[in-house]
Each structure stands twice: as C-alpha cells, then as structure tokens.
Amino acid sequence: MQNFRTIKKNGSHEIDIKKSRFICHLKRTETEDEATTFIEEIKKAHWKANHNCSAYIMGERQDIQRAHDDGEPSGTAGVPMLEILKKRELNNVTAVVTRYFGGTKLGAGGLIRAYGGVVNEALSTIGIVERLLHQYITVTVAYPQSGKLENQLRQSIYRLEDIHYTDKVSFECVIAIDQIDTFLEDTVEWTSAQGEHVYGKKAWVEIDVTT
C-alpha cells in the first residue's frame, strides 16, 4: 500500500442541532469485516437511537466505499459522511453517526449539513495523520569510518534510529521509501563505498497533518 492519510486515533465527537444529538464515532478499519463489525457494535451500544448512519472508505486505491442512511431520507446521511472522508483524502476509516431525534425535522438540506458537519468536526477534533511507509536499512562500517558517517547522518534528513557497536559499527536507519535511492547514493559516498547495507523490516511512520 502507498502512503495515505487516516485518523490519528479512534474516537467520537458530538454536536446538538435543534435538540437532536449527532454523535460521530470514528475508527481505523482495514477490511470490510472490521468496518461492519464496528458499525454493528455502535448500533448495539446505541440501540435506542433513531438512526445509526455509516460510511467507510478503504483499499489500496480507496476503491472500497460504502454509505448507508439507516432510515434517513436517501442521500441525506451516509453519502455526505462519505464525501467528507473523501474530501479529507482519508483511507481505512469507518464513520458511524448516531442520531437521537430532538423533535424538530431538519429537512434534506439540514440533514446533509448535520451529518457531513459532525464528521468534519470529529476529524478536526481527533486529528489526521499521514502514514508514510519506511524501510529499515543498516549501514555497517569499520571504526575509522564511523565518525564521519555518524556526523553525516546526524546532519542529514535521514532518521538515525540506533547505533550498534561490535567489531564494527552499525547504523540503523529508517528511510522513507521514496528516499532509499538517494540514501544509498549518499552513504556510499560518505563511506567511500566501504559500507555494507542490509535491509530490514518495513514500518509505517505517522506524521500529523495540520491542514
């Protein structure tokens, strides 16, 4: 999977509109089974609510998208919720909005604004992160070359995770996938092509999105 944006953490957010309560529940979900399980959990927890509308988006190309109005007029709940997830460029997220009716009808336009609005507010409150795929790469050199390499790494844009001292010195780095080629070129130059590169595991690194 390529880099993508998702929610910073699971959570909920509530707004009141003309005495109706709209509670948005957000959760990271990677499969449709996870999404439907979460939706059912919210429905059971809020079984007295008038509606539990839902939307989710997931897949390598955001190709799995679903929306459900749960009794609200067609297109006034699930679709505007999904549109907010798409507008915020999110992936692997399920949103469920629980509505407790307050006695005043909002009309189609009011419902669209309410359901879309509570999801948008919830996302801003909970936060969004960019998940960036990184590769662990360890560069091992002899002691005479280690000082220069350490200085160069610490002054560079690359993330130096750890240093291991044995009969040689190994620098464990975490490199963004799109920076690997440049990293290899730089470290070959810094070590005069005397370093050994070993690939380790891949890992996701999360960066807060402020926009």
Question: Per residue in 22-71, pLDDT tens?
Answer: 999 999 999 999 999 999 999 999 999 999 999 999 998 899 999 999 99
**By three-state DSSP, how is residue 166 classified?**
coil
| Residue extents of the structural domains in the chain | 4-126, 130-209
For residue 56, which of 12, 26, 22 has the smallest C-alpha distance?
A: 26
CB atoms within 10 A of CB 130: 15
Helix (H) or strand (E) holding 41: helix 32-45
Question: Is 12's pLDDT higher than 80?
Answer: yes
Three-state SS at 34:
helix
Please say whether the beta carbons of 81 and 116 come within 8 A.
Answer: yes
Q: Tell the CATH topology of 130-209.
A: Alpha-Beta Plaits (3.30.70)
Residue 2: pLDDT band (50, 70, 90) is confident
Cβ 73 vs Cβ 108: under 8 Å: yes
Dist. CA 180–CA 186, nearest whole Å: 10
Q: Report the C-alpha gap between 127 and 41 in whole angstroms.
A: 23
CATH 3.40.50.720 is right for the domain spanning 4-126 = no
pTM of this structure: 0.82
* Span 128-186, pLDDT tens digits: 999 999 999 999 999 999 999 999 999 999 999 999 999 999 999 999 999 999 999 99
User: What's the token pair of residue 19?
Assistant: 């005495």
Burial zone of 111 (CB within 10 Å; 0-12 exposed, 13-18 middle, 19+ buried): buried
